[in-house]
Amino acid sequence: MDIDRTQPPTNLPITAIPITRVILEQGGLWGRWGTRIAWSIAGMSLLAALASAGANAQYFQREAKVVEKYHSLSRMAVGKVAIVDVSGAIMGGQGFTRSQLDRIEEDESVKAIVLRVDSPGGTVSGSDEIHYRLTTLAKKRGLPVVVSMGGIAASGGYYIAMANGGRENVIFAEPATLTGSIGVIIPHFDLSKLMKKLDVDDDSIASGPLKEMLSPTKQRTPELAARERKILQSLVDEMFGRFKEIVKQGRPKLDDTELAAVATGQIFTAKQAIAAGLVDTIGFLEDAILRAVELADLTESTARVVKYSRPRGILDEVLGNSSPGARLTLESFAEWTTPRAWYLCSWWPALLANNP
């Protein structure tokens, strides 16, 4: 007896047939899209898991704010020479430089510091904070500090380079380095005339006439403008005096006459800086490292050079590392427009942000 297998069995309940049809019909268009969505989610989850695996070791390091990486010399050596990187405009606060110094303070195996500076400077308070913390750490631990200057180490960048303990042959500048710019600036832009042309008045309410010092939109009488300038100049003079004191600590061989000759705000090439007594020698990062190894009583076979970086998260691994400085936020805008004094080699410091 031939059996027609294309027909449903006759011994099944009649209700089973339409139920099967309903299930199959519902698995049409929606089923296809549902399957694609499910596979997409699964693929993204797998990608995130693989990406996190590469960065997972970083999260288990003792200090989450920085990640230590091998740089050069002996991988197996116990004694470390730590490279502290200061790049971009110096804004101060809980920045990456602070995190690097905190990490070194907790690591007893660090025997010397190479301060790598590639910065045009920044705020007076930020530059002074880095100098203070680096100087304090070096004295507390007896760590020699050797400076390696990158493309630019000017103004506040030169200020923090003075945390070298006043030793000889510890400031290295690359052949193309620009340095110096010893001075202070409080930027101010007077837009009051432009506001008047646009028929816009600054009607701010202040507790006193000096509360609006440095306001770019406020119209001032000649008497008030002269009073403000006198006050601001006294602030600049005092901060400039501290800058020169810091330079004397880092370059003790400079007498007052020599210091006055270079503390004019001028920038210098590497060769000019050597002639002026601001830099010891021309050399690259590797030369500064060897000098630090020597001062720490280590050798190339007993020293491990390390550097620090920010830990990368899962989204950084998946989407790529995007620069925080590229994102304009209300917080950064408020930071830029806050009146402040700068140790900075720039004519428009308000446009610079810290390069983490």
Region of poorest pLDDT, from 19-28, 83-92, 240-249, 333-342: 19-28
pLDDT value at residue 178 = 96
Tokens of 157: 């960048």
CA distance 224 to 202: 16
Specify the pTM.
Answer: 0.75
For 295-322, write each residue's pLDDT tens digit.
999 999 999 999 999 886 544 444 444 4
pLDDT value at residue 187 = 87
Confidence of residue 286 (pLDDT cuts 50, 70, 90): very high
pLDDT value at residue 247 = 98
What are the residue numbers of the active site? 155, 211
Mean pLDDT, range 265-273, rounded to an integer:
97
Region of poorest pLDDT, from 27-31, 37-41, 82-86, 118-122: 27-31
Phi, psi of 325, rounded to the nearest 5 degrees: -65, -15
Question: What's the chain's average pLDDT?
Answer: 81
Phi, psi of 300, rounded to the nearest 5 degrees: -65, -25
CB count in 10 Å sphere of residue 86: 26
Confidence of residue 214 (pLDDT cuts 50, 70, 90): confident
CA distance 264 to 247: 13
CA distance 280 to 277: 7
Region of poorest pLDDT, from 47-51, 106-110, 189-193, 338-342: 47-51
Closest Cα to residue 129, out of 246, 276, 254?
Answer: 246
Q: Which amino acid is at 92?
A: G
CA distance 249 to 263: 14
Q: Which domains does the chain have, with CATH numbers?
A: 62-188+250-351 (3.90.226.10)
Between 209 and 150, residue with greater pLDDT = 150
- List Cβ neighbours of 120 (8 Å cut-off, separation of 6 or more): 89, 152, 154, 155, 156, 157, 181, 344, 345, 346, 352
CA distance 309 to 63: 11
For 138-153, write each residue's pLDDT tens digit.
999 999 999 999 999 9
pLDDT for residue 337 is more than 80: no
pLDDT value at residue 343 = 73
3-state secondary structure the chain: CCCCCCCCCCCCCCCHHHHHHHHHHHCCHHHHHHHHHHHHHHHHHHHHHHHHHHHHHHHCCCCCCCEEEEEEECCCCCEEEEEEEEEECECCCCCHHHHHHHHHHHCCCEEEEEEEEEECEEEHHHHHHHHHHHHHHHHHHCCCEEEEEEEEEECHHHHHHCCCCCCCCCEEECCCCEEECCCCECCCCCCHHHHHHCCCCCCCCCCCHHHHCCCCCCCCCHHHHHHHHHHHHHHHHHHHHHHHHHHHHHCCCCCHHHHHHHCCCCEEEHHHHHHHCCCCEECCHHHHHHHHHHHCCCCCCCEEEEEEECCCCHHHHHHCCCCHHHCCCHHHHHHHHCCCCEEECCCCHHHCCECC
Closest Cα to residue 182, out of 234, 120, 117?
Answer: 120
Mean pLDDT, range 19-43, rounded to an integer:
54
Mean pLDDT, range 207-215, rounded to an integer:
90
Mean pLDDT, range 222-234, rounded to an integer:
95
Q: Which residues of 143-154 are buried (b: 16+ CB within 10 A; e: fewer)?
A: bbbbbbbbebbb
Between 128 and 46, residue with greater pLDDT = 128
CB count in 10 Å sphere of residue 53: 11
Tokens of 294: 């020597």
pLDDT for residue 112 is more than 50: yes
Closest Cα to residue 89, out of 49, 133, 56, 124?
Answer: 124
pLDDT value at residue 63 = 42
pLDDT value at residue 202 = 87
Q: Are 243 and 343 in contact (CB under 8 A)?
A: yes
